[in-house]
Amino acid sequence: MTHNLQDLADKRDALLLAEVAMWLHMLGKFHKDFLNDPNSGIDIQIPTDLTANFTQLDNLLQDSSWSGSIWNQLGITELQGSSLSFFNFIEKHRDPDPAKIVQGLLRLIHDSHGRGSGIEKGVLNRFAVSQVGKVYLSTAFGTESKAIDLKQTEWHKFYTFLQTHIQILENSLTVPKYDWKGFRKYFISQLESYFRQTVAETRRPLSDVSLFDQTSASVAFLKAALAQNLLAGWKEPVTDIIKDKYYWRVLKVGLDGLAFWGDSVRIGDLLARKELIGKALDLVQRVIEEQYPLGLEIYRDENGSVFIVPDIADLLNWKTKSGCLLCEYLQRIANFQFKGEARWVLKLSDHTRDTLKFGRLATSKPNKLSANDKTIASHWNIQEKQDICPICSLRPIGSSNKALKLKVCDVCYQRRTNRAKAWTKNLHTTIWIDEVADTNGRLALIVGRFELESWLTGEAFNSIVSSDPQSQIWKEPKGSKQHNFDYQNLLNEIQNALSKKPENKRQFVSNTLLDGLVSKNSRGLRKGQNPPLLQPFYNLQVTDTDLGEGRTSEDPYLLALAMMRQNPSFARLRRVWETTQKFWQEIIADVPDTQLSKVKCRLNIQVKTSEISRLKLVNFGNYDLVLKNAKLSVLLWDDRLITTDNLCYVAKQLNTFSDNKESENINRSLDSTIAAEFVRSHLNNQQVSIEEPTGYGNPNKLGGQLDINSNDITLDFTECTPVIQILAEPRTFMALVPAEKSLEVINTIQTKYDREMGKVRNRLPLHLGVVYFHRRTPLRAALDAGRQMLTYKSPTDKQLWHVQSTYTGQLPKEKAKLANGTKQFDQTITLTLTQDERSITWHVPAKMGDGNTPDNWYPYVFLETNDDDSKVKTERNRAIKSQRPGTTEPCWLVHPGDLKKGDQIYFTPSTFDFEYLDSTARRFEIHYDKEGRRPRQTRPFYLEDLDRFQTLWEIMKNLQTSQCHQVIYTIEATREMWYGQNEQESWTDAVFKQFVTDTLTNAAWPKDKKWPTFSDKERQQLIDAGVRGELADLAELYMKILKEQ
């Protein structure tokens, strides 16, 4: 039987109006009064200053006549929406007794809010710690920066916005089939800008979710629930039976984004193809959210979008208005947008009530790209045989003269032209590789990836506690009752209860800690159940959640974990990926101008129309002007040629062949303005050749000679940062920067990571890579190398580290920059960890954003006890039994402040890798074995090694260049002669170590920097680096690539 989605389209107005009301159901939290007193009830009221100063808005919110008449169109008797207003959504969303709510729509609101909010707060939320005075919004990783400063002018501005736009809705919805596209997109974007400023919950550690994150989760659940009721019939949301509660499904629409644009010939082609994916996903989003309101997008990255949708198993096979199935309709979007080059991969999960399926689907490896054969075949119905387009590798080179001239198909030509045209309206950016290349003509493709898999499945939240596990007195927020909390007692009580047979003997025992901590309405009991059974509570918290997946037995520690952990919720998961995406988006802006200076000047060369015709130049085409032995890249922009090159590089090339005294300025300073003047002087009143690039390995095509008069050349002083940011997604980063500035960018990333993810570094590794290449190296070779670096995955069997030392106090001077803009490092736990003679130092911020509150929630480590629980019970104040992501075995979770020398902890290190493509074949050397190593065994390095490398290079720079090369050659030649392919044997050979020591000792160190003048630590670090072969890596990076010596 084929079902139809037309009912959703017909009732779009009612569904989307309910969505708008749901976006506002916690309107009262966007107010200073909520921050000052969260228990004031303002979240279920209309704020008094709104009523007093915005009477029209107040009427719109409380008047049910206009909204109720529209909701009545839903046609489901149980909803009873005809008498409801926006205010009813606000008033009833957390009603203590939802069963007594008459209207089914309001019961749905209550249930959707509970799934978006209640799940996230957890069982013990009433014991969460209130923030006094200033309130901070934390990231999902425990980082707090600035206190929330919500001013009256801000929420009044928000009320003004609402008053205008809800009035627009009331007026517009009198006409059937209102066009929601413009309204809804703008409404949500504006609401997001306001709601991101504040918290949904003021108590720590529940204050890690913004008001927008929590609201959007509730909206997603409501939209899916309403769609399910319309398509499959009414389902009562208020029930004590778990299997009868609302479930949902997760829909992923995507493709292999990196493969789709990764083989691009030029950056303009890449960015154009990447933009196509974004536009196509926008169209899919409109279908799922507006055209047939099924749900809400909850995640997007380079590989697609993920939506919460109704629990309907064959949803993709339901018919749309046009008669085709939903899956076919979505594929039509792909075919239209990609012109047959790719098809969507559509994946609909099984039904669920947890976050595991979402995370697995969101991070699943994309399928291989698949083209629409029929669409592509139609392009080959041509009379003359043509070569294949080098950009899409699917269609023939185009029929138009312009496409033929550039040797691309018509579709790719149009995309390229559009991209270049768009750049001319945005000159403070660049899309040109030659402009990004440094003064040596080299670029660096920086790639980065967070291992977010366990965070997006929610498993990583088993390593964050919602309640401080120290033995202490817990006070009830209401009344004088208090509890003598002790984690071990709680665990014992759960164990005693679960040990009883049969299930009806498992009960909450009066006057016990477990009975006191778990409130009556959190126990999952059916009405009238007596005595108070434990089993429904266990099922609700463990069996039917991510903790119960794949288990056949009941473990007491899992129930304690469910009570104590930071609950994984969609709002919290959204907070995770938004935090990491924002991290990447801010990177380039965080690099100081002194370290990544801006391009301050370009040249404009006026060209007569007759000359453009004579030379057969194509508008927005790329060309080279030949000046002596140097080439200057330019773009034809209407009646001018604008430079798209690094003028400092061109000036340096011209300087090599110049006897002009002006060249001394170029030697002293390669400022882009000085370079521009220098290049202009070589263009003035000259006849130059103009050539058309024909691709890597092929000679340029000579177009003719161009006469340039001095009056034809002007300077354009639009500044731009010489960076092309390709990706800044939740997991993945990719950007092109000048090679000589690459380490400054990498150091900025490292510092930002240590500061913002410092509390969870042990379970949120960051992997960075740099691909260095010359500006004439094919872009696709560099991209392929970068993609290979992104495949690195931390080996699971190399995560156990020994605690060498632990110190609690201030940051060391060399790491003082970590504390910039935050007070979390006012107290720092410094751990030195060792593994296989390698060492990592981890500076763990031990305070919250106010600098006073101890962080007893986020910075935890998994401790290896070898099943000896006594190591924890007798020595640790802050510890609970948990499980590591990807495992089901119990493992103790301990605060780093309670670690001791000799402990073994699980730590997943971050890494850094690099490669120089002196040939395109070099990229094939980038691959990783199961232990995470490359054929070049020194790589990748630990991210922390960057500081050590900088120190070692400062020492090695004291040697003359030839002597530095000689020392490294002697060490590496001897290694190869003694050990051949078994170079790892040299790392532990005492004889070889002595040889390295002697070689370094006897090097020709300058008089003022003799070998003995270096500290013992510095000498040892240099010897160890020589033994492991890292000095060769240093020489390649600093001398060969960066040309610092």
Per-residue pLDDT, 698:
73
φ, ψ (nearest 5 deg) of residue 497? -70, -40
Bridge partners (DSSP) listed for residue 1032: none
Place of tokens 């392929």: 784
**How distant is the alpha carbon of residue 510 from its chain centre?**
47
Asked whether the beta carbons of 756 and 141 are under 8 A apart, the reply is: yes
Q: Torsion-angle region of residue 425: left (phi > 0), alpha (psi -120 to 50) or beta? A: alpha
Per-residue pLDDT, 550:
82
Torsional sign, CA 561, 562, 563, 567: positive
Residues of the chain with pLDDT under 70: 1-2, 118-121, 525-531, 656-670, 695-697, 1045
Per-residue pLDDT, 93:
95
Strands laid side by side in the 630-637 sheet: 701-708, 686-692, 622-627, 630-637, 640-643, 602-606, 713-716
> What is the tens place of the pLDDT at every residue in 548-599?
988 878 899 999 999 999 999 999 999 999 999 999 999 988 888 878 889 9
Per-residue pLDDT, 668:
43
Strands (E), 533-591: none
Can you tell me whether residue 471 is helix, strand or coil? coil
b/e 1029-1044 (16+ beta carbons within 10 angstroms → b): bbbbbbbbbbbebbee
> What is the tens place of the pLDDT at every residue in 9-37?
999 999 999 999 999 999 999 999 999 99
Residue 132's contacts (CB-CB under 8 Å, 6 or more residues apart) are none
Asked whether the beta carbons of 308 and 224 are under 8 A apart, the reply is: yes
Per-residue pLDDT, 597:
87
Per-residue pLDDT, 1:
52
- Rounded Cα gap, residues 655 and 605, in angstroms: 21
Residue 316: exposure state from Cβ atoms within 10 A (0-12, 13-18, ≥19): middle
Residue 974's contacts (CB-CB under 8 Å, 6 or more residues apart) are 992, 995
Helix 267-286 / helix 410-424 crossing angle, nearest 10 deg? 100
Residue 605's contacts (CB-CB under 8 Å, 6 or more residues apart) are 634, 640, 641, 642, 683, 708, 712, 713
Structure tokens given for 777: 């190296």
Distances (CA, A) of 691 to 248, 629, 696, 699: 59, 13, 14, 9
What residue ranges do the domains of the chain occupy? Answer: 6-235, 249-378, 467-564, 600-716, 754-912, 944-1041
Distances (CA, A) of 17 to 11, 22, 292, 531, 737: 10, 9, 14, 44, 46
Asked whether the beta carbons of 516 and 483 are under 8 A apart, the reply is: yes
Strands 622-627 and 766-774: unpaired
Structure tokens given for 445: 């493709």
Per-residue pLDDT, 875:
77
- Rounded Cα gap, residues 785 and 924, in angstroms: 8
Per-residue pLDDT, 667:
47
Torsional sign, CA 1035, 1037, 1040, 1045: negative
Per-residue pLDDT, 656:
64
- Rounded Cα gap, residues 567 and 459, in angstroms: 10
